Amino acid sequence: MINYELYKVFYWAAKTGSLTQAAKALYLTQPSVSHAIKQLEDSFGITLFYRNSKGVSLTQEGTILYSYIEQSHILISLAEKKMAELKNLDSGELKIGGSDSLFKHYLLPFLEEFHQQHPDVGLSLIHGTTPEIITFLKEGRVDLGVVRMPIIDSQLEVREGIQLQDCFVAGARYAAELKDKVLSLKLLLQYPIILFSRNSRARMAITELFQDYGYELKPEIEVGSVDLLIEFARKGLGISYVTREFVSQELEDGSLFEIQLDVQLPPSQVGIMIMRNTPLSSAASKFIERIR
């Protein structure tokens, strides 16, 4: 087996040309240094040093060995420096999986603060549905995932984030007819419904709620982003199902209004997922500490 401590002693003895100086550099006694070199020489069956008036010098064979050990020492020093940089967040990368809407409306302030404090850490945001993000996490393509709960998977550890409330919203076209009125689910279905086209947790939840009441929720329009859900509702193309917290500005300025229903729509919880029993990078650990 390779004893790296012997090579460390050899390196410092060769670099300083002195067993005494090597001992000082390594906080060892000189006899310990001499013994280590003898062990290395015995293992090779080769003499690596010869004594001179100033200390020790390398033999021809020792010089060849030193050329390799010196490169190894440089690489190890660079590795130690890199580890220190990663620990201190002077380099590295943070990879997060989630939806565009959660990145924009939930994580953005935390990402901005993290980037300002650690500008040398690269940020990589990977878009996907909840099942896709879970796959990315298990494959090591992301450090953490931010998705809607519930998440039931023994391989994952999930911490609760903010609570969200979904709702139906419409624009000015429907204001005179529907604003300040309370609708039943049956009456709501008489209007064009706009839903997110992908298999998101929010869409699954609202579809199941309608089924529980004996109705089938079939959208007239499906779109690929939350921004389009908002814009289509503003343009009067139908009634969109969105997260209230994501349209707070539109509700405040009156470009959208919330449809009041005679049933309570359940809130949803955001979860921050990591792999269970898997060490996090320094960047990921530091970022998770910031999320509220």
CA 82, 84, 88, 90: dihedral to nearest 10 degrees? Answer: -20
Determine the Cα–Cα distance for residues 188 and 268; give it in Å rounded to an integer: 21
Cis peptide before 150 (omega within 30 of 0): yes
Whether residues 133 and 183 fall in one domain: no
Q: What is the pLDDT of residue 272?
A: 95
**What is the span of the domain harbouring residue 40?**
4-87
Return the top range by mean pLDDT from 19-33, 75-89, 192-206.
19-33
**Pair (198, 80) in one structural domain:** no
For residue range 93-136, what is the model confidence (pLDDT) as tens digits? Answer: 899 999 888 999 899 999 999 999 999 889 999 998 888 999 99
Give the pLDDT of residue 197: 76
Mean pLDDT of all residues belonging to the chain? 91
Residues 142 and 221: beta-carbon distance below 8 Å: no
Say which CATH number the domain at 45 has: 1.10.10.10
Q: What pLDDT, on the 0 to 100 scale, is given for residue 233?
A: 97
Helices (H), ranges, 27-139: 30-44, 60-87, 100-102, 108-117, 130-138
pLDDT in the model for residue 2: 60
> Tens of pLDDT along 222-241?
998 889 999 999 999 999 99
Q: How many domains does the chain have?
A: 3
Residues 244 and 217 grouped into a single domain: yes
Rounded Cα distance, 133 and 241, in Å: 22
> What pLDDT digit, counting tens, does each position of 44-71 carry?
999 999 999 889 999 999 999 999 999 9
pTM: 0.69
